[in-house]
Structure 1
Amino acid sequence: MARVWNFLVFDDDREILELLVEELEEPGFLGEDVIKCTTVDNFLDARRYVETGNFDLVILDLQDEGADLNNKGDDDRLSGERVLDYLKDKQFIPVVFNTGYAEKIMHLQSHFVKVVRKGAAGELSRVVRETFETKLPELIRYIQDEQRKYLWGHVEEHWGSADELKEEGEVAYLLARRLSNSLSASSIRKFFNPEYVGGSKVHPVEYYIWPALNFRVSLGDLYSANESGTIYLVINPACDLEQGKADVVLLVKCSRIEEFSEFESIRNAISEQQVVGSGKRKELTGLIGDNRKIAGGQPDRYKYLPGTSFLPHLVADFQFLSQIPMEDFLKGECFTKIATLDTPFAEGVQAKFARYYGRFGMPDLNFETIAGDIILAMQNVRA
C-alpha cells in the first residue's frame, strides 16, 4: 500500500523551491510512495513549522539572507543552523541541508543530519533516498501509530469510565509498557521484515544497548580501559548492583577474536591462498558458538560477543577476572563505557559465568569396578 510522506522544504529562493518540489514530488521518486512538500522561504515560517508541524523529513537551506542580515544579536549562526536547533528542541525528524555553503556546516553532519552541496547533480535525490532506506522515517511513524492505536483503539474503547484507572500515572504506565512491547526484538524484526514469522536467530546489534543508557554500573556493561584499549565486561549479579550491595566491580577481560588460534589459522590459510577446510571452519564455529574444543579446555570458559559497527568481535574469557573497588571505578578515570548487553543476553552471560565458576572438582569413582562388584554380589545371592 502506497504511503504519503510529508516534507518541509526551506529555501529563501522561490524559484529553487519550485524546482525542489518538482524533483521530490515526481512520481516514482520513492517507488510507489508519494511525497507532499510544504515550502517556506523565510526563517520565521520555517521556525514555526518545525515547532508545530508533523513532517517525515526536513530539507533546509543554510541561509535566509534577510533574516541573517538583520540578526544583530549574540547568535551569529545562520538561519538553517537555528532552524535545526529549534527542531531538536521540539521533535526528532531527519534533516538534509541543501546549501551552497556546505563547507560551513560539515561539522553538523551525522546519521540524522546530512549535508548536500546545492546544485550537485543527483546528490539531493540520492541522500533523500538513502535516508528512507535506513527506515528511520518509517520507524518514527510506526512509534506514533502504536501510541495512537493504543490510546484511541484500546484505552478509549475498553475503559469507558475513568474510574477504572484510578491510580496516578496508570494510563501513562500502561502506555509505556505497550510501547516497550511494540518495540521488542520480535516486533521490530516484524517491522523491518513483514514476512518474518518468528525464529531463534538474531542480528548482532540486538545483543546491545548502544550508546549505554545511564551512568550507573550494570550487569553486561562493556567498558574500554582508557590506557590500554582492552575491553571488559561487568559480570556482577544485577541485583547486587541495583541494590547498592556491590563493593567491587567484577570485570571479565574480552579479547578480540583475532587473538585466538581458530581465527589465526584461517587468516594464515587465506594469506597463503589455501582453501579453508571444513575442520578450520568447524573450529571457528565452535569458538563463536560457545563450544570451544581445545585440549584441556572448558567450553564454559568462553563467551562470544558478536561484532557490530561500534564493537569488534570479542570473546570473554572467564579465567581473566579482575576486581576494582566500586568507589574507584565510579570516578571514571580509567574506563569508558561503550555499550551494554541487552536482556536476555546479559543474564545469559552471567549464568554461563556462574556455571563455569560453580563447577566442583571431585575425583571420579571407578565406575567399572563398582559395576563389577554389584554384578558379582547379585550372582552370589542367586547362587
Structure 2
Amino acid sequence: MTTPDVAYRVLIVDDDAKMTEDLRELLADELTDLGGIEFEVEQDFASAEERLNHEDFDLVILDVRDAADGSPSADIEGRGRELYKKIASVRWVPVVFFTGVPQQVRALEEPPLIRVVTKNALDDIAPAVREGLLSGVPALTRRISGLVERQVRDFMRDVVAPHWNEMAAADPNEIAPVIVNRLAAWLRENGLRELDRVVDGDLVAITGRSAAARVYLMPPVTHHLTATDLLVDPQGGWWLVITPACDLYEDHPDAKVEKPRKAKVQYVHLAKADRVFTDDGDGSESPPITAWLSSAKSNKDKGPAQRAFRVDDNRYRALPRYLDVPDLVIDFENVRSVSLDEARDWKRVATLDSPFSESMLIAYSRSVGRIGTPDLSFDDVQVRLGLAKPKSEPVPIQPSSSPPNGAVLNP
C-alpha cells in the first residue's frame, strides 16, 4: 500500500542480484519526477506470487527465466505465458517483461499495460515503467474492488442480518443470487457516481462523464454478436446491430451443453451510425448536420439538423462520445444487411447497456412499423375550448362601384 512518502510500489522478480541492483539504481534516477518509488525484489516466482496475494503493487518487472541457475527453462515460451497468467490471476497489475528472450513473450505485449523490454536495451526500461505507472490502472482497480467489497459488506449488515430469521431456512445457494442481483442493481444506479467521488487525478476527466459511461458496455460482455452492438467496418464506418438478440444468441464453444444453440440468422441488419464530427472537426458524416454546417445557418437548415438530437424523432437517435466511441447519430433510414460471418469479422467496440439498448430497438421498430395518417385539424375545437384564438379570415376583395376608365354604366 502506498503512503504519503511513497507514490508507487514496484515488484522486481529476477534471480540475477547484480542486474536487480543496477535496475533499481537506474529507475530511481530516471523516475525521480514521479515521486517516491519503493522497489521490492524477489528472486523466485513462488515468493513473488505469495506477495502479490497479500500486497498491493503498482507494477511488476518480470524476468521470463525462473530457474535456480539463472538459465532459461526448457519450455521458455510456455513458461513466460505461465508466469504472466499466474500474476494476472492473483492480482492484475501492469507488467514489464525484462528478458533476454523478448521474442518468446512479444505476443503478450499490449502497451502501455504489458510491455516487453530486452535486457540489453536499458534505455527502454524506464519509459516502459513510467507508462505503466502513469496509467493509474492499479489504483483504479483497488478503488473499484473496495467499492464492491463495501457494498457487499453493507448489504450483509443492513439487509441480510436484520432479516436473517426469514432467510435462515433458505438454501444458502438461493441467497447468493439475491446478493448478486442487489449488488448489480446498486452498481448500475450508483456505482459510477460513487466512483467519481473516490477517483482523483487525470481519471476524473473520463469517469466524471457518468451519463455517457452509463450508455455503453465496453468491451461487449457477450462472446457472440448481439443486438445494439456498435461495430466498425474495415473502411472505418460505424454501424449499430438492430437484429434482435434472440436471433443472434449462441452458446459459448466451451459450454458443456448437449445441443449448443446457434444463431438463427444468416444476415445481420445494421443501421448506419454517422459520426457527428469528422476527424478534422470541420465536417460531419450526417447529411442534415452536413447541410447545416455548409449552409447560411437559416432556420430552414437548422430544423433538420436539430432532428438528429430529438429523443422522439422517428428517424434519428444520437449517442454520446465516450472513450473510443465518437459522437454518433443513428439513421434508421440508412440500413443494410451483411452476412453474419462478415459482421463477426468487424471490430466490436461496445454494446448499448439497458435501458438504452431496448429504447434503441423500440425506436427502430417504431420507425419502420409506423402507419402514416393524414394530419387532422382540431383548430375549431381548440378555439371553442379557449386553447387558441380564432384565426382571422382573409377579407374578400369587393368589386369597385366605379366603372373603369370613366365609362358610363347603363341603368
Q: Which amino acid aligns with 1:137?
A: P
Q: 1:345 maps to which residue?
A: 356
Q: 1:96 maps to which residue?
A: 96
Deviation at 1:207, TM superposition (A): 3.2
The answer as to 2:190 corresponding to 1:190 is no
Cα contact 2:288–2:305 (8 A) shared by 1: no
- Residues 38, 288 of structure 1: alpha-carbon distance in 2 compared, 3 angstrom cutoff: farther
Cα deviation digits, residues 97-137 of structure 1 (max 9, x gap): 23455455433211431234547677544433433433210
The answer as to 2:136 corresponding to 1:128 is no
Equivalent of 1:316 in 330, 353, 358:
330
Q: 2:139 maps to which residue?
A: 138
Q: Which amino acid aligns with 2:42?
A: V
Q: 2:59 maps to which residue?
A: 57
Deviation at 1:88, TM superposition (A): 3.3
Q: Which amino acid aligns with 2:140?
A: L
Where structure 2 has 5 or more consecutive residues not aligned to the other structure, the ranges are 250-260, 276-283, 387-411
Q: 2:183 maps to which residue?
A: 178
Q: Which moved more, 1:9-18 or 1:362-371?
A: 362-371
C-alpha distance in structure 1 between counterparts of 2:106 and 2:375, whole Å: 68
Where structure 1 has 5 or more consecutive residues not aligned to the other structure, the ranges are 270-275, 293-297, 376-383
Deviation at 1:87, TM superposition (A): 2.0
Deviation at 1:9, TM superposition (A): 0.8
Q: 2:393 maps to which residue?
A: none
Deviation at 1:220, TM superposition (A): 1.5
C-alpha distance in structure 2 between counterparts of 1:56 and 1:168, whole Å: 37
Q: 1:84 maps to which residue?
A: 84
Q: Which amino acid aligns with 2:186?
A: N
Q: 2:373 maps to which residue?
A: 362
State how 1:229-268 maps to structure 2 within 5 Å: 231-235=238-242, 251-257=269-275, 258-261=284-287
Largest Rg, 1 or 2: 2
- Residues 142, 374 of structure 1: alpha-carbon distance in 2 compared, 3 angstrom cutoff: closer
Cα deviation digits, residues 164-184 of structure 1 (max 9, x gap): 454323246415643663473
Equivalent of 2:309 in 290, 295, 300:
290
- Residues 61, 150 of structure 1: alpha-carbon distance in 2 compared, 3 angstrom cutoff: same
Cα contact 1:223–1:335 (8 A) shared by 2: no
Cα contact 2:8–2:37 (8 A) shared by 1: yes
Deviation at 1:141, TM superposition (A): 0.8
The answer as to 2:318 corresponding to 1:304 is yes
Q: Which amino acid aligns with 1:211?
A: P
Tell me the secondary structure at the aligned position of residue 373 of structure 2.
coil
Q: 2:108 maps to which residue?
A: 108
Equivalent of 1:221 in 214, 229, 235:
229
Cα deviation digits, residues 147-173 of structure 1 (max 9, x gap): 443455653587289664543232464
Question: What is the percent sequence identity of the aligned residues?
Answer: 24
- Residues 132, 172 of structure 1: alpha-carbon distance in 2 compared, 3 angstrom cutoff: farther
Cα contact 2:320–2:327 (8 A) shared by 1: yes
Tell me the secondary structure at the aligned position of residue 77 of structure 2.
coil
Q: Which amino acid aligns with 2:17?
A: R
Deviation at 1:70, TM superposition (A): 6.6
Tell me the secondary structure at the aligned position of residue 132 of structure 2.
helix
After TM superposition, the score normalised by the length of structure 1 is: 0.66
Q: 1:8 maps to which residue?
A: 11
Q: Which moved more, 1:94-103 or 1:232-241?
A: 232-241
Cα deviation digits, residues 233-268 of structure 1 (max 9, x gap): 2335668988x9x9768724214435434565699x
Q: 1:210 maps to which residue?
A: 218
C-alpha distance in structure 1 between counterparts of 2:59 and 2:248, whole Å: 42
After TM superposition, the score normalised by the length of structure 2 is: 0.63
Q: Which amino acid aligns with 2:354?
A: T
Tell me the secondary structure at the aligned position of residue 315 of structure 1.
strand
Cα contact 1:43–1:79 (8 A) shared by 2: no
Deviation at 1:96, TM superposition (A): 1.5
- Residues 10, 180 of structure 1: alpha-carbon distance in 2 compared, 3 angstrom cutoff: farther
Cα deviation digits, residues 319-352 of structure 1 (max 9, x gap): 244679xxx84xx455446131122322332343
- Residues 192, 354 of structure 1: alpha-carbon distance in 2 compared, 3 angstrom cutoff: farther
Q: Which amino acid aligns with 2:309?
A: D
Equivalent of 1:168 in 169, 172, 177:
172
Tell me the secondary structure at the aligned position of residue 37 of structure 1.
strand
Cα contact 1:43–1:67 (8 A) shared by 2: no
Instruction: Report how many residues are paired.
Output: 349
Q: 2:21 maps to which residue?
A: 18
- Residues 91, 173 of structure 1: alpha-carbon distance in 2 compared, 3 angstrom cutoff: farther
Cα contact 1:221–1:234 (8 A) shared by 2: yes
Cα contact 2:16–2:43 (8 A) shared by 1: yes
